[in-house]
Amino acid sequence: MLPMGGRMQDWPLTVDRLLDGAAQWHGATEIVTRYPDGSVFRSSYADLALRARLVSQALRKAGVGQGDVIATLASNSLDHLAVWYGVMGIGAVCHTLNPRLHDDQLAYIANHAGDRWLFADGMLVAQAGRIAARAPGIGTIVTINDPRSGGFGEYPHLDEFIVGCDGADCAWGGFDERLTAGLCYTSGTTGDPKGVAYTHRSNTLHAMNTMAPDAFALSARDVIMPVVPMYHANTWGLAFSGPAVGAKLVMPGPQLDGGSLHALIEAEGVTFAAGVPTVWQGYVDHLRERGIARTSMQRVVVGGSACPASLIAALEALGTTVIHAWGMTELSPVGLVATPTPSVLALSTDEQREQALKQGRPIGIDARIVDESGRALSRDGSAVGHLEVRGPGVIERYVGHAHSALSDDGWFDTGDIASIDRHGYVRITDRAKDIIKSGGEWISSVDVENALLTHPDVALAAVIGIAHDKWGERPKLYVQLRPSLDEGDGRDLAQVFRDYLAARIARWWVPDEVEIIGTIPIGATGKIDKKALRALHEAGSQPAY
């Protein structure tokens, strides 16, 4: 029997320690922010740690304490990080609002969360004012980001807010690691948005898990550019994992078009970036149009929606390794990453390409697929069921809900439909609410879209299920053509696309109806908005060919 007394330190896993570590051991490492006017502002982890403490001190002076909810409405910048850590460091809750949401949704979310303060990008003050007018709990608005742009109306800038503070009288941490640190609402594609509260512990563990070699393989030698906004599911953890490894950070601000990203990547030597497929599509299109064949970006995480094979091929041709990842707000958010195992590396090149299209294997979570009755299905690559997960970064219940979000045996239903293969790779075939059931059988909209996206004339493709008398549902395909293509060049493009698909997928999966539209609607987190497409169909839009 072990004698009494031996033990390890009780070291709460609070996120302030991640930034303190970065400031202490990588204090001179740069944090680069691109302001909305395109100019670049250089600072460091030492600067950030100080600025965050000044924010903490000013908040404290203003009466903010543990558990108070402080909202942000901002793009990725040094100031946003300073508010993020300044709020979390004193045990208050940082609630990131997504500026791309409608005012109604933002007002609902701000009221539901009990937001008291709002830190907003200078260019978003009008929107911030409208939200505050409808969310009476918000007593003060402070503007952040480019201090030179001015025009903030009645609201002070962060520089004014922290005047008189020196950062000295401001202790961080010292509270329970299970305290809520951050808050993010799901985008509410079905029903009202729901709040997901991350704890200091869950954020720290998620950062540890995602920076490991089998996930994003982050290190102090990386230059990390989080293209994914801080308001989209916790920056996929990068606002924590970047400081945790002490990597240089490049915060791209609001301009995420291909040209702006390319300029920043090359100027700052970005080695690692992360974002949704539509953003990277814009990036590769920009490079293709200019005949640029190489990029200095070594690795890119593509997630948020399925990464098309054509995009993987285009990025790899530029010399970038694509890391396909899957996650959701409720998971902090990363849950699956498609990094190879020895058994995958032993496959043929074509088979490895197939694997890279899957969403990957569990990172920091446990996962299973179950049938309608909750019975676990086998990992044979063909059984398809509801994907369920559990883990230290997985939600237990939504904000304000009296009941748990879990099944009786402790699993969270992701709302995704998937198979798991013998390598442990999960393949998402659809969201449960997007899946198409034709004649009693499932059609994977993701597979149909992926097949069409390899066609050179197609910029974006989206498949929805529409009611059908005989089959229950049939797939309908929406296509957005590449900008250079003239719709009226005489070809029956709908038939061209149907023939193309017929050669690649099961015949009964080929959509009966194909509609070519100018722009496929994109939602608040940069993903194709199928709800809007369903509404378009309901409204009886006419094919444009």
- The question of whether 295 is a catalytic residue gets the answer no
- In this chain, which of 18, 93, 328, 464 binds ligand ADP, going by CB under 6 A? 328
The catalytic position among 29, 96, 186, 204 is 186
Q: How many CB atoms lie within 10 A of CB 12?
A: 16
- In this chain, which of 187, 271, 445, 450 binds ligand ADP, going by CB under 6 A? 187
CB of 320 to ligand ADP, least distance (A): 17
Instruction: Report d(CA 224, CA 323) in Å as an integer.
Output: 14
Region of 203-211, 297-305, 371-379, 509-517 interacting with ligand ADP (CB under 6 A): 297-305
Instruction: Report d(CA 195, CA 188) in Å as an integer.
Output: 10
Instruction: Report d(CA 351, CA 467) in Å as an integer.
Output: 35
Cα–Cα–Cα angle for 376, 301, 228, rounded to 5 degrees: 105
- The question of whether 396 is a catalytic residue gets the answer no
Cβ closest to ligand ADP, residue 173 vs residue 381:
381
418 and 384 in contact (C-beta within 8 Å)?
Answer: yes
What one-character-per-residue DSSP string does 454-485 give?
TSTTEEEEEEEEEEETTTEEEEEEEEEE-TT-
- The question of whether 437 is a catalytic residue gets the answer yes
Query: According to the binding rule CB under 6 A, does residue 305 interact with ligand ADP?
Result: yes
371 and 348 in contact (C-beta within 8 Å)?
Answer: no
Instruction: Report d(CA 388, CA 53) in Å as an integer.
Output: 39
Instruction: Report d(CA 43, CA 134) in Å as an integer.
Output: 36
Q: Which of residues 344-383 bind ligand ADP (CB under 6 A)?
A: 359
- In this chain, which of 122, 195, 243, 304 binds ligand ADP, going by CB under 6 A? 304
Region of 130-138, 172-180, 239-247, 301-309 interacting with ligand ADP (CB under 6 A): 301-309
Write down the H helix ranges in 94-212: 103-113, 125-134, 158-161, 200-211
CB of 338 to ligand ADP, least distance (A): 8
CB of 251 to ligand ADP, least distance (A): 20
Instruction: Report d(CA 232, CA 275) in Å as an integer.
Output: 10
Cis peptide before 333 (omega within 30 of 0): yes
CB of 329 to ligand ADP, least distance (A): 4
Each residue 387-426 as x (binds ligand ADP by CB under 6 A) or -, in order, gives ---------------------------xxx----------
User: Binders of ligand ADP: how many residues, by CB under 6 A?
Assistant: 23
72 and 55 in contact (C-beta within 8 Å)?
Answer: no
Cβ closest to ligand ADP, residue 60 vs residue 353:
353
CB of 439 to ligand ADP, least distance (A): 24
CB of 387 to ligand ADP, least distance (A): 8
For the chain, the C-alpha Rg in angstroms (whole number) is 24
- The question of whether 442 is a catalytic residue gets the answer yes
- In this chain, which of 189, 219, 298, 480 binds ligand ADP, going by CB under 6 A? 189
Cβ closest to ligand ADP, residue 90 vs residue 197:
197
Backbone angles phi, psi at 389, to 5 degrees: -140, 165
The catalytic position among 84, 172, 320, 330 is 330
Among residues 251, 314, 309, which one has the least CA distance to residue 286? 314
Cβ closest to ligand ADP, residue 29 vs residue 76:
76
Query: According to the binding rule CB under 6 A, does residue 303 interact with ligand ADP?
Result: yes
Cβ closest to ligand ADP, residue 91 vs residue 333:
333
Instruction: Report d(CA 104, CA 134) in Å as an integer.
Output: 9
Query: According to the binding rule CB under 6 A, does residue 84 interact with ligand ADP?
Result: no
Query: According to the binding rule CB under 6 A, does residue 527 interact with ligand ADP?
Result: yes
Query: According to the binding rule CB under 6 A, does residue 339 interact with ligand ADP?
Result: no
Cβ closest to ligand ADP, residue 31 vs residue 322:
322
The catalytic position among 442, 473, 513, 531 is 442
Question: 517, exposed or middle or buried, with CB in 10 Å at 0-12, 13-18, 19+?
Answer: middle
Counts for the chain of helices (H) and strands (E), in that order: 16, 24
Cβ closest to ligand ADP, residue 303 vs residue 364:
303
- In this chain, which of 48, 306, 435, 453 binds ligand ADP, going by CB under 6 A? 306
Q: Which of residues 218-247 bind ligand ADP (CB under 6 A)?
A: 233
Region of 37-45, 83-91, 101-109, 299-307 interacting with ligand ADP (CB under 6 A): 299-307
The catalytic position among 437, 441, 454, 487 is 437
Cβ closest to ligand ADP, residue 395 vs residue 493:
395
Instruction: Report d(CA 55, CA 32) in Å as an integer.
Output: 19
CA atoms 523, 155, 165, 116: torsion sign:
negative
CB of 24 to ligand ADP, least distance (A): 34
Strand ranges of the sheet holding 248-251, from the earlier edge strand across to the other edge = 40-44, 30-34, 248-251, 223-226, 272-275, 299-302, 321-327, 334-337, 361-362
Q: Which amino acid is at 463?
A: V
Which residues contact ligand ADP by CB under 6 A? 186-187, 189, 233, 303-306, 324-329, 333, 359, 414-416, 428, 431, 525, 527
Question: What amino acid positions are annotated as catalytic residues?
Answer: 186, 330, 437, 442
